[in-house]
Amino acid sequence: MIGEHTDYNGGHVFPCALTLGTYAACAKRSDGRVRMYSLNFDGDGVKEFDLFEIAYLESDGWANYPKGVFHQFIEAGMKIEEGFDIVYGGNIPNGAGLFLCLHRACHRRLHQ
């Protein structure tokens, strides 16, 4: 783990295998709602938002990260017409920086 966003800012990185992981279970919904739950932040309960009205809310804490990913996908022209139910969990320390990679992989799989 190197931090500081070195990889996508042109810096040198030292990739390595990790024994830790972040996991997600995803299911499509027939509406434009996204419901998310994190096993790592179980006290926060379910976070929910509308894909067509994504807004940063300080009270959403960790959930603002996947909301931001969805927002960027939509801004880039990706058509996301259905919502999702997503459960996240894992043993990577909070703030280690691997969350967004998982979210992108989950999104790609659901749209195949």
Give the tens place of pLDDT for each residue, 54-79.
Answer: 999 999 988 988 898 888 888 889 88
* Domain-located, residue 10: no
- CATH number, position 41: 3.30.230.10
Residues with Cβ < 8 Å from 22, sequence gap 6 or more?
88, 89, 90, 92, 98, 99, 102
Domain range enclosing 81 = 22-110
* Domain-located, residue 41: yes
User: Between the CA of residue 80 and those of 5, 25, 74, what are the distances in Å?
Assistant: 27, 18, 7
Q: Name which residue leads in pLDDT, 7 or 72.
A: 72
Q: How many structural domains is the chain composed of?
A: 1
Give the tens place of pLDDT for each residue, 26-42.
Answer: 999 999 999 999 998 88
* Domain-located, residue 1: no
* Domain-located, residue 5: no
- DSSP state string for 75-93: HTT----S-EEEEEEESSP
